[in-house]
Amino acid sequence: MTAKPIVAVSSDRRVLDPHPSHIAGEKYLRALIDGADTLPLIVPSLAEDIDVDDLLERVDGIALTGSYSNIEPRHYGVEASDDPGFHDPHRDAMTLPLALRALEKGVPLLAVCRGHQELNVALGGSLHQNIDTVPGYHSHLENKDDPIDVQYGPSHPVSLMEGGLLRELAGSASQMVNSLHAQGIARLADGVTVEAVADDGLIEAFTVDSAPGFSLSVQWHPEWRVTENEFSMAIFKAFGDACRERALKRQVPRE
């Protein structure tokens, strides 16, 4: 039996009555198991105690998950925050350098929602702190009073760029996606290729040009009920295949 590739999963640091805890949503773990056929392992947001290079030598992929928290705006050159959410500086300290080092070392990387925003910021881009207040964009935030199936249901179309990875995976020029985010890309980082754009022009996906391995960053939530959506399954299968390729290389004895 071949061992499944190991995927390091980002975590949120939350205080849970009264203990600091490091957590990741089960929907991401399930998607990595059911969609990518990998073994997900949650990495605590303890940046001072975890050597990134050591971690990357032991895993076959990195998954940057979504979160209810937002990135501290100082990471993209804004001192004051006017966003309506809360911050998780411990996660920022872990994921921003981890993302960059993973790209440099060719470790397959899949970023979703907050992870999408993290990757853009890590590469030098910036964010709209509240899309609702930016002229020209419609609201991308879910109605939290709706049933969960409605919140994660199709919300708006995205155009998939010709010649791009997502266009190839979808086999079509557009797809309907869900939308559960208050923040989004303002200034796109240099050295990336846009993969998908929302109907109002918001950049919803990109790949990293210089990455020697798989890299894909999406603003929506393909992890939600992944096995029920062909496009989402294609995304996670492509990521899983890249992780399997790395796992095989990592298992070859070094001379």
Active site members = 113, 221, 223
- Amino acid at the residue 44: P
The set of residues, in sequence order, having a beta carbon less than 8 Å from that of 72 and lying 6+ positions away, is: 81, 87, 89, 92
- Chain Cα centroid distance, residue 190: 18
Q: What are phi and psi of 128, to 5 degrees?
A: -80, 125
CA distances from 99 to 96, 116, 140, 146, 233 (A): 5, 11, 25, 33, 23
Residue 92 has a CB neighbour count (10 Å cut-off) of 21
**C-alpha closest to that of 56 among 124, 102, 121:** 102
The pair of structure tokens assigned to 220 is 């929506």
**C-alpha closest to that of 97 among 66, 122, 75, 80:** 122
- Amino acid at the residue 197: V
Q: Helix, strand or coil for residue 240?
A: helix
